[in-house]
Amino acid sequence: MTTMPERIAPGVYRVDAIGLKNAINVLLLENDDGLTLVDTGVAGSVERIKNAIASLGSGPQDLKRIFVTHQHDDHTGGLKGLLEWAPEAEVGSTAHEADVISGRRGLDPPSNAFFRRMVRNTKPPGAPVGKVLREGDSVSGFRLISTPGHTLGHTSLLRDSDGLLFTADAFGCLPRRIRVGVRKALCTDPQLARHSAVKLLAQDFTTVVMAHGPVLQTDARAKLQRTVERCRY
């Protein structure tokens, strides 16, 4: 079944990485030389992402870059499968996340003891990261913003030309209410996550895409502002 990407803005498509709409969002960015994928969903997302790329008239040779916002398996789960399909794609992330994704260090532990026990045997994907990026670097026309807290090397992306913000998990709606860091229990450092959320509010944006939840195209800033004001960590 073809997975039809949703066009959010010129050159930017949102893809449902699993069968539930807006449950896990990844982005496809069109570049002059091909495509950049932002995050890879879970292991079962590979076929959906491949189909989305095909629906844009592209194939494995057109997937030039994969940028991973952070280490959690709903963002890295499809990475190894996609690299088998498109082995020439360059993988990028921040230095801390690269160490985790490549398997040089373990996953950042969640702040919640129950979730720490749940993930204690979870292994990183063990995929090499070829390009290490830092705050201010460009990812296919988007500016990288360091937003640690959900994980220690977590990043968000902002296209300054039209104010399109991809928060990744700095904000998230799972299942119905927008929260800082998606859920406090999932954040490695909840207070740092709140600090990063405040940092994003200082940016100039108009449209917000979260990794979990609907696209915010109306009153996006006000909605995120209220989320931060409600936050108690």
Chain centre distance of CA 31: 18
| pLDDT tens per residue, range 33-57 | 999 999 999 999 999 999 999 999 9
| pLDDT tens per residue, range 6-21 | 999 999 999 999 999 9
In whole angstroms, give the CA distance from residue 189 to residue 115. Answer: 13
In whole angstroms, give the CA distance from residue 231 to residue 177. Answer: 12
Comparing 4 with 114, which gets the higher pLDDT? 114
| pLDDT at residue 122, as a whole number | 87
Domain ranges of the chain: 6-230
| pLDDT at residue 2, as a whole number | 55
pLDDT of residue 30 exceeding 60, the answer is yes
pLDDT of residue 1 exceeding 80, the answer is no
Residue of 78, 64, 211, 74 whose CA lies nearest to 139? 64
* CATH superfamily name and code, 6-230: Ribonuclease Z/Hydroxyacylglutathione hydrolase-like (3.60.15.10)
| pLDDT tens per residue, range 189-199 | 999 999 999 99
Tokens at 21, concatenated: 């709409």
| pLDDT tens per residue, range 202-233 | 999 999 999 999 999 999 999 999 999 999 99
Q: What percent of the chain has pLDDT over 70?
A: 99
| pLDDT at residue 4, as a whole number | 85
Per the CB < 8 A criterion, the answer to whether 192 and 149 are in contact is: yes
H or E element, residue 76: helix 73-76
Q: What percent of the chain has pLDDT over 90?
A: 94
Q: Is the pTM of this model over 0.95?
A: yes
| pLDDT tens per residue, range 174-190 | 888 999 999 999 999 99
pLDDT of residue 63 exceeding 90, the answer is yes
Q: Is 79 helix (H, G, I), strand (E, B) or coil?
A: helix
Q: What is the mean pLDDT of the chain?
A: 96
pLDDT of residue 121 exceeding 90, the answer is no
